Structure 1
Amino acid sequence: MTSMFGHDVRSELLILYLAETASVFLAVYALAVLGVAQDTPVNTLDAGLVAMAVALCCGVVVGASGLYRPEVLSRARRLVAGGFVAALLLLILTWLGLQLLVPARDPFSWGMVGAVLLGCALGVAVARLGCIAASRYGLLTRRLLILPNVPARLVGLREGEAGRDLLVPVNMPADLAAGEAPSPDWLRAQRIWAVVAESAAVTAAMRQQFQEAGVRILSPDELDECRLNRVAPERLPADWLATARGLRRSQLGQALHRAVDVVVALMILLVTFPVWAVTAVLVRLDSPGPVLYRQVRVGQHGKHFTLYKFRSMVVDAEAGGAARWAMRNDPRVTRLGRLMRLSRIDELPQLINVLRGDMAIVGPRPERPSFVEQLGSVIPHYNDRALVKPGITGWAQVNYPYGASVEDARMKLAYDLYYVCRRSLFLDLIIMVSTVRVVLFQDGAR
């Protein structure tokens, strides 16, 4: 794992992203300069600018298609579907971008579109084949020295286990006495990345040896947090908020975060305005009742606010006003409502809540007061998620399907608390890009 702006990124996926970006840049640049896919060659400066913009956009598009998710890498059908979506998105972005740079009547525009797509295909293919070869030769593995008396769940780590970093456990040398640490030379020779041990098991002398070799010291819970990008609420100490980096933000940082929320909300509103108009008409035609659905939710610091959504259920769906969990094939959902939920169109009016300041673009899902009271009484630290504004999308929403039980809420809380602890604009960007994948492939819809 590699820490970037407080967020742990899987090292092999980061290497894959950098390799793809470099490969795409070189491929697009070479094709443009040589004039392979267009009528005339392009001068080196223009080719470099176009190649750089395409390479950066390609990484975002590939991420938005879900092609950096570890479980997708081993599923051929999902890889093909993601590759098709990535190519389509990149085609649209390339065409729009070149129309702004080059007159539409110039055939060079269409030629460059071909150069861009060909270059991206070549670059991504070369980078992925290279990373596959490096992985097979063990060049991307992270070797862990696991000390005695750690939880059994860590001892059985397998290389390349689906959804996890490439971790290989290494045993302590047999000739060491209790309380001794391997020499820095041995640690370097074994390419040890981190030592996993309970804090009480690491003496001052051992800590010095590990630090001299440049080896990280992680507790079992810290390793779980790094490799799974979530925290276990039941194992958090009572004072965990004192070390939560995501909550230590200056007034300038808070203002910048708010400005990003407003700008993104306005941009989405502008782009989706025709969708609003069509959806409003269809909701009225599909079933009797109001277009917008209003519901009280719990926001930051436990403050109640009114959340807006396009109505996707029949009127009076909850008899007696009692809150009910959503379920698969929920009979209360209208025909249009089912389609809106799959595409997440019903959540567009929450942009109003963002502009009003009740919500952010990214944050934990806002829950109903009765659910918050129920879950807060049975799940440790559940109310800590309210330390930040709720969001339209969030770390839990892009990593776990729609929750419909207490156990689902517990698992989603693990991701929410990770976000609260490590919140940053970088993590927000990752979540927003991942949301495109959730919408396009209907991950977790209900």
Structure 2
Amino acid sequence: MFRLFKHYVPHSVAWLALIEFLALLAAAESAWHIYAQQADFGPGPFADRALPVLTFALANSLAMMATGLYGNEALRSMRFATARLLAAVSLGVLFLSVVGFLLPTATLWRANSIYAMAIAIALLFLVRLALTQTAGTDAFRRRVLILGAGPRAARLAEMAERPGSGLDIVGYVAMSASEKTMAGAVPRAQINNLSDHVLSLKAGEVVLALEERRGSLPLGDLLRVKTTGVHVNDISSFIERETGRVDLATTNPSGLIFSDGFSAGQRISRVSKRLFDIVASLMVLVIGLPLILIAGIAVKLDSRGPMLYRQARVGLFGETYDVWKIRSMRTDAEAAGKAVWASENDPRITRVGNIIRKLRIDELPQLWCVLKGEMSIVGPRPERPSFVEELERELPFYAERHMVKPGVTGWAQINYPYGASVEDARAKLEYDLYYAKNYSPFLDLLILLQTVRVVLWPEGAR
């Protein structure tokens, strides 16, 4: 993997995205030449059509990201990739239609666009077919040696066995006699030179997975391995890079303090994020107002009670504020006066409420909170004060998620199904900490694009 704006991107995904972007450029350029030949005119210099060709490629690349074409399942399954590819093309057509309406000179002519889409579908299908025939991301597997043979090493072994992990663990080194979890681990005492052992296994990375580091950290060994050009990483940083979340089981306060993250408060980032929030929330509120009214009327007709409901949530620095949503539950949903987690197939949800929750329409009024500055478009989802009190007692570092503004959508929402328990909150907290630690406008863009996938395929909505 390599780090792009503090976010880790697998090499396989980066190369695939680049190849497919070039395929889209080739499709647009070929379409231009085909149409020029049919209409009997010269294609002219590329500079005259560079903008519409680039717009075509960029729009469809973003649509492919938004529909999940660079996720593990799409990289392994041709059937899944084909379905998402067709959805991406449809989304790309809609985006190009909007751009063409606003900036006619920035898009291809209608006939050109039809040819370009047909050629693009064929080229992208061939690229994906070639990828799945090489076992997807398995073609880019990375060889890793684990220093440790206890429960932590077993966690890494489980990660490597997951489809699409891209990891090939070439061995385990038991650094102490007490580490006996991993069968076949080589005792450190049997290895004369650890750096030679790493090179003989052709490992590209060494991961430190000791159960107890105090007094047993092999600094000399690690230094010699590092000087051979092999990357050395600790288990918490490794898991963060591979999974996109901060692993609470292996993370300690000093690791967070001395990391290079948590820079979302820098002035330029803060100002640019706020400007985007104002512009985006205004646009969506204006465009979505008819949808809010229609959904509100449907809610009123379906069940007794108000169209909107207000609820206290915990925001930036632990301050409470009122969030607004379109009501999706019965008015007696919490008749006992105690906050209750939502559950799968929750009987308190109304018929209309079930629909607007799956489409995320009930979230639209929250944009008023974004406009006021209490929330952001992207950030950790805000929780109710009673839940926060419970979770701060149960989970380490839970208060740190309040160091950034809560958001309408977030890194946890696109990576983890809807959860309604302390264990679910723990998993979501790991993603929220990753977002707070590695925030950048690039990560916000990825989240916004992937939110489209969550809305189109709302498997986790409750």
TM-score normalised to structure 1 length = 0.89
Q: What pairs with 1:221-260 in structure 2 (closer than 5 Å)?
A: 221-248=236-263, 249-260=265-276
On the 8 A contact 1:311/1:337 being kept in 2, the answer is yes
Moved more, 296-305 or 132-141: 132-141
1:192 alignment partner, SS class: coil
Residues 377/393 of structure 1: CA separation in 2 closer, same or farther (3 Å cut): same
How big is the shift at 1:112?
1.6
On the 8 A contact 2:5/2:442 being kept in 1, the answer is yes
Distance 2:48 2:282 in 1: 32
How big is the shift at 1:159?
6.3
Residue 4 of structure 1 corresponds to 4
How big is the shift at 1:47?
3.3
Residue 280 of structure 1 corresponds to 296
Residue 195 of structure 1 corresponds to 206
Moved more, 333-342 or 25-34: 25-34
2:99 to 78, 97, 100: 97
2:145 alignment partner, SS class: strand
Q: Does 1:32 align with 2:62?
A: no
Q: Deviations over 1:176-213 (max 9, x none)?
A: 964733249x73x8653311124856645434433333
Residue 180 of structure 2 corresponds to none
Distance 2:137 2:325 in 1: 51
Residue 182 of structure 2 corresponds to none
- Equivalenced residue count is 440
Q: What pairs with 1:105-124 in structure 2 (closer than 5 Å)?
A: 109-124=109-124
How big is the shift at 1:81?
3.2
Q: Deviations over 1:123-155 (max 9, x none)?
A: 322432443455579651211122344623256
How big is the shift at 1:442?
0.8
Q: Does 1:323 align with 2:324?
A: no
Residue 162 of structure 1 corresponds to 163
Distance 1:209 1:8 in 2: 26
How big is the shift at 1:370?
0.7
Residues 202/35 of structure 1: CA separation in 2 closer, same or farther (3 Å cut): farther
On the 8 A contact 2:195/2:228 being kept in 1, the answer is no
Distance 2:123 2:284 in 1: 31
Distance 2:159 2:250 in 1: 24
Residue 81 of structure 2 corresponds to 79
Residues 435/260 of structure 1: CA separation in 2 closer, same or farther (3 Å cut): same
On the 8 A contact 2:137/2:164 being kept in 1, the answer is no
Residue 67 of structure 1 corresponds to 69
On the 8 A contact 1:289/1:315 being kept in 2, the answer is yes
Residues 179/339 of structure 1: CA separation in 2 closer, same or farther (3 Å cut): farther
Distance 1:95 1:42 in 2: 23
Distance 1:109 1:403 in 2: 46
1:247 alignment partner, SS class: coil
1:218 alignment partner, SS class: strand
Residue 304 of structure 1 corresponds to 320
Distance 2:245 2:37 in 1: 46
On the 8 A contact 1:95/1:113 being kept in 2, the answer is no
Residue 13 of structure 2 corresponds to 13
1:71 alignment partner, SS class: helix
Q: Does 1:366 align with 2:379?
A: no
On the 8 A contact 1:283/1:291 being kept in 2, the answer is yes
When the two chains are superposed, the root-mean-square deviation of aligned CA atoms in Å is 2.9
Moved more, 428-437 or 59-68: 59-68
1:144 alignment partner, SS class: strand
Moved more, 424-433 or 22-31: 22-31
1:387 to 386, 403, 407: 403
Residue 181 of structure 2 corresponds to none
On the 8 A contact 2:153/2:209 being kept in 1, the answer is no
On the 8 A contact 1:297/1:369 being kept in 2, the answer is yes
On the 8 A contact 2:146/2:171 being kept in 1, the answer is yes
Distance 1:132 1:445 in 2: 30
Gapped regions of structure 2 (runs ≥ 5): 174-185
Residues 257/438 of structure 1: CA separation in 2 closer, same or farther (3 Å cut): same
Residue 195 of structure 2 corresponds to 182
TM-score normalised to structure 2 length = 0.86
Letter in 2 for 1:420: A
Letter in 2 for 1:414: E
Identity %: 36
Residues 209/152 of structure 1: CA separation in 2 closer, same or farther (3 Å cut): closer
How big is the shift at 1:73?
3.6
1:19 alignment partner, SS class: helix
Distance 2:138 2:255 in 1: 36
1:54 to 34, 53, 56: 56
Q: What pairs with 1:202-221 in structure 2 (closer than 5 Å)?
A: 203-221=218-236
